[in-house]
Structure 1
Amino acid sequence: MAWLDLSDQYDKIYRYCFFRLRDPDLAEDLTQETFLRFYRQISYEEEGKALAYLYTIARNLCLDAVRRARPAAPLRETDPAPDPFAGAEQRIALRQAIEKLPADWQELLLLRYANDLPVGQIAALTGLSRFAVHRRIRSALAALRTMLQKEDFA
């Protein structure tokens, strides 16, 4: 994977870490650590495998951080900056609905829609089949639709 291609992934890895941790400073630290660890194991040459390896490192670092933080205190919630545009209420409802989904569904939605990864790469990253990824994303979207309809936002 070329340097330029990897640099394009930095924001996506940060977004992934931030979504998992809800702590901007820790997400930044873990994003940097992800790339450091990746470069130490630079032998991954195929783009799909390299990208999956990058996300695997980020996932493992996030899981370790959550395990370390669990006994001390809950992860802090960061409120988004006020949005001057219309639709803020719907975005808040959507975020709250997503947070009610199982963690594995949240992760799949993040990878697919926030980070624009194709289903095949998500399958390689998670160890699920393409069919299972597609089915779980569809189930997650149906659950979101149901929750939002109850809130009259659909």
Structure 2
Amino acid sequence: MSSASIDRLQVSRLFLTHRDEIVNFLMLKVRCPDAAQDLSQETYLRLLRKDTLQHTDNLTGYLFRTAERLAIDFLRYDQRVTSKHDELNEELVCPNIQPEALLILRQQCELLLDAIASLPAQCRHVLLLRKIDEMSYAAIAMKLGISEKTVQRHLVKAMLHCHRRLAAPVPA
């Protein structure tokens, strides 16, 4: 295959002759009239930028092949952009705590703190060492100088007390 130079007049005639065919061809590929028009113009510009072509015996085929490659590039780009911008899903829930839920959470925290504060000192101490400091029963028993069984009893007593206080109806 030999290279041959093409002149602007030849490209202009080629484009004018096949313009509607190229637009229709691109329309079938990209399914958007505006994009098809833009891509047909880009096809023309690509040919104008070439000084020489290797396939001067079939310029029409070269024109359509250029248009097809531009359409493929356009569709790839469009697919990447579309996949990055998901459609707005109306069923999505805001990940932030809503004001009503925050108010309820604050009230529950206050009830829990009041329940813990109203525990006998030894029960409160065992509960805090276990739940806050995450100490084992043995470590709590050693620290407080009591048996592990007593630690378990204090913990059960504290947990039941807190549970009852949280389950009780809130006075208005």
TM-score by length of 1: 0.42
Structure with bigger RCO (C-alpha 8 Å, 6+ apart): 1
Which protein has the larger Cα radius of gyration, Structure 1 or Structure 2? 2
TM-score by length of 2: 0.38
